[in-house]
Amino acid sequence: MAERQVTVKSEVGLHARPAATFVQTAAKASLDVTVSKGYGEPVNAKSILAVLSLDVREGDTVVIRAEGEGAEELLDQLAGIASAP
């Protein structure tokens, strides 16, 4: 299983538009993708409600995991979204 640890830089954290973009990108992949706040309980990265429930704020660290072919590329995309200012 591939993994990325990312510090969220957006002023709004992983909420609203950044969360929607993150979830839409994850949902396009056929892979299993999870995200957690730090090393807490992971949630389905394809579910907007699950991602919003993490209450990720600016400066928090998230861990994104994916398994399967193309996982590294998908994680690169998701990490870019999560770390965008």
Q: Which of 10, 14, 15, 22 is catalytic?
A: 15
pLDDT for the residue 60: 98
* CATH value of 2-82 in 3.30.950.10, 1.10.260.40, 3.30.1340.10, 3.30.450.40: 3.30.1340.10
pLDDT for the residue 80: 97
pLDDT for the residue 62: 98
Domain residue extents for the chain:
2-82
pLDDT digits (tens, 9 = 90+) for 2-11: 999 999 999 9
* Spatial CB neighbours of 78, under 8 Å, sequence gap ≥ 6: 4, 22, 25, 26, 33, 35, 45, 64, 66
* Spatial CA neighbour of 30 closest among 74, 64, 81, 62: 74
Q: What would the mean pLDDT of 40-51 be, rounded to a whole number?
A: 98
Residue 65 appears among annotated catalytic residues: no
pLDDT digits (tens, 9 = 90+) for 46-80: 999 999 999 999 999 999 999 999 999 999 999 99
Q: What would the mean pLDDT of 31-49 be, rounded to a whole number?
A: 97
